[in-house]
Amino acid sequence: YTESKIMLERASKVLAGGVSSEFRKYNHPHALFYKGGVGTKIIDVDGNEYLDFTLSQGPLILGHSHPEVLAAVNSYSDSGQLYAGQHIQEIELAEKICELIPSAELIRFCLDGSEAVQTAFRVARAKTGKNKFLRFEGHYHGWLDNVAWGISTPGVEQLGEESNPNVYPWSKGISAGSRDEFLILPWNNLGLLEAALSRHHQDIAAIITEPVMCNNGCIPPEEGFLEGVRSLCDKYGICMIMDEVITGFRLGLGGAQSFFGITPDLSIFAKAMGSGYPISAIVGKSEWMDCIASGEVIHAGTMNSSNPTIAAALATIRVLEKEKPYERMFYLGKKLMNGLRAVGEETKQNLMVSGMGPMFNTFFAVDGLPKDYRGTLYADKGKLSRFVIGLQEEGIRIIGRGLWYISTAHTEAEIEYTLEKARKVLEKL
Ligand code: PMP
């Protein structure tokens, strides 16, 4: 890692923190700097090659440097058509998304997931005339003020209480006023949700949920939970926002909403839709989105819908439509998940594997902790860190918090190779 170390020193002088939060937060001893990547492989500045399951935190669903995406982006750069909005490709992309996503009737494009989430809250407030929103413990919806609060977790026994007083901002500098804008409830617990709404529904403009709790353990929704959220939103005139930043275009062309058969009022797409180019979308039924159309709710941004980002998204979606990769991605992902479970058992490492296939999480359970998603909140982070570093030393990269993403480029041979390497790492842990 000699060159990476030199780069880290250089970076630390000019880039605050020097390196992405993933390496800092998870005490990763070898921050990597990359030269580039093709397909499933990335190469660091020292020339080490890795089989990549991070996909740049998710977006590279087609793998690195996909030729059709690059060609689409380059055709705009080469022609000098580098303007934002008001071009035919923007219309074509919106038409395509309306065709594929069940709840999409009107769309606005933004640059990232956080910004689209913020826009969804505004729409929900404008439409319902209410001010607060409800979100779930362990979910992530970006880093802007009103969602960047968590629940401090002093003891497992305190989890699961309906209103947890120990809400804290993740960062200094977060507006204290945003504390009063939300309620945080446990995930997958319809009883607590019903009870909370019976008391607070007159204040709640929106319920926001990840359809799969991807950011903590990759926990699927329990049977009936999303349906329950949908019907409570209908009952109380609350906007249901589905945050599909991770699940969108990853569980299928229609996103998680199609996969689970639930129609949200608003939903957010980002990551995989743009193959790494900065594009996200807020989509929804006309009856919600018309307040943006009429200008009552402002949605702006100089760089939104810039030609290369739209081109990247159109090319990505067209490749996904053409290749129909989902059955294969589920197959490969589940094969890897099951294989890891088996290797975890054989090596007696308490390795837990949870998720859907195209994305999943690995963590190390601690005896006596809850078996539901809360077990992941309290999992053994030190051991996970050693696992992630061990894999990196064997030439395999996964995300620091144990998340794995499958791309359309991964092969069965690579899954088998990964299982061999994982066994080696687990044996040494
Ligand atoms: N929602 C979810 C579910 C996410 O996973 C993320 C990012 N990891 C966001 C929102 C925020 O998106 P962005 O990082 O593009 O702002």
Residues 387-405: b if buried by 16+ CB within 10 A, e if exposed: bbbbbbebebbbbbbbbbb
> Nearest C-alpha to atom 8 of ligand 1 is from which residue?
142
**Which atom of ligand 1 is found nearest the CA of 270?**
15
Give the model confidence (pLDDT) of 396-407 as tens digits.
Answer: 999 998 999 999
pLDDT of residue 273: 97
pLDDT category at 17 given cuts 50, 70, 90 is confident
Give the per-residue pLDDT at 213.
Answer: 94
pLDDT at 159 over 50: no
Task: Work out which ligand 1 atom sits closest to the CA atom of 215.
Answer: 5
pLDDT number for residue 370: 63
Checking DSSP bridges between strand 266-269 and strand 280-284, what pairing results, if any?
Answer: antiparallel
pLDDT one-digit tens code per residue, 160-193: 445 555 788 888 999 988 988 998 888 898 998 9
- CB count within 10 Å of CB 307 equals 22
Give the pair of three-digit tokens for residue 138: 């362990």
Sign of the Cα torsion 310, 316, 318, 321 reads: negative
Q: Alpha-carbon distance 387 to 28, whole Å?
A: 11
Give the tokens for residue 143. Answer: 């880093």
The overall average pLDDT reported for the chain is 91
Q: What is the pLDDT of residue 204?
A: 96
Cα–Cα nearest to 148, from 174, 122, 124? 174
CA angle 136, 142, 148 (to 5 degrees): 65
Three-class DSSP category at 263: coil
Query: What pLDDT, on a 0 to 100 scale, did the predictor assign at position 31?
Result: 82
Distance 241 CA to ligand 1 centre (A): 14
At a CB cut-off of 8 Å and minimum separation 6, what does 49 contact? 41, 42, 43, 395
pLDDT band at 156; cut points 50, 70, 90: very low
Report the distance separating Cα 247 and Cα 359, nearest Å: 9
Distance 140 CA to ligand 1 centre (A): 7
Whole-number Å distance, alpha carbon 280 to ligand 1 midpoint, is 10
Pocket of ligand 1 (CB under 6 A): 112-114, 117, 140-142, 210, 214-215, 243, 245-246, 270
Ligand 1 mutation pick, 271, 277, 279, 356, max ligand atoms within 8 A of CB: 271
pLDDT in tens, 69-93: 999 999 887 777 777 778 899 999 9
- Site to probe by mutation for ligand 1, drawn from 55, 246, 280 as the one with most ligand atoms within 8 Å of Cβ, is 246
Q: Please give the distance, rounded to the nearest whole angstrom, from the Cα atom of residue 351 to the centre of ligand 1.
A: 26
Question: Which atom from ligand 1 is nearest to the alpha carbon of 142?
Answer: 11
Query: Higher-confidence residue: 234 or 159?
Result: 234
| 426 CA to centre of ligand 1 in angstroms | 30
Spatial distance between the Cα atoms of 374 and 150, rounded to a whole number of angstroms: 14
Q: Delineate the domains of the chain, giving CATH numbers in brackets.
A: 2-65+325-428 (3.90.1150.10), 67-323 (3.40.640.10)
Closest residue by Cα to atom 10, ligand 1, is 141
- Count of CA atoms in the C-beta half-sphere (13 A) of 110: 22
pLDDT top residue among 277 and 32: 277
The protein residue whose alpha carbon is closest to atom 11 in ligand 1 is 142
175 C-alpha vs ligand 1 centroid, how far in Å?
Answer: 20
> Cα separation of 394 and 183, whole Å?
43
Place of tokens 């055709």: 75
Q: Which atom of ligand 1 is nearest to the CA of 139?
A: 3
Predicted confidence band at 373 (pLDDT cuts at 50, 70, 90)? low
- 106-122 pLDDT, tens digit each: 999 999 999 999 999 99
Q: Quick one: which atom of ligand 1 is closest to the CA of 114?
A: 16
**Per-residue pLDDT tens digits for 303-360:** 999 999 999 999 999 999 999 999 999 999 999 999 999 999 999 998 999 999 999 9
20, 109, 110, 114, best to mutate for ligand 1 pocket (most atoms within 8 Å of CB): 114
Q: 30-68, pLDDT tens digit by residue?
A: 788 999 999 999 999 999 999 999 999 999 999 999 999
ipTM: 0.99
145 CA from centroid of ligand 1 (Å): 14
The residues near 143 (Cβ < 8 Å, ≥ 6 apart) are: 114, 170, 171
- pLDDT tens digits, one per residue of 227-248: 999 999 999 999 999 999 999 9
Q: Say how far apart CA 341 and CA 354 lie, in whole Å.
A: 10
Given a contact cutoff of 8 angstroms between Cβ atoms, the answer to whether 288 and 265 are in contact is yes
Work out whether the CA dihedral 410, 94, 271, 66 comes out positive or negative. Answer: positive
pLDDT level of residue 154 (50, 70, 90 thresholds): very low
Angle at CA 241, nearest 5°, toward 199 and 316? 165
Give the Cα separation of 252 and 357 in Å (integer): 12
Closest atom of ligand 1 to CA, residue 271: 15
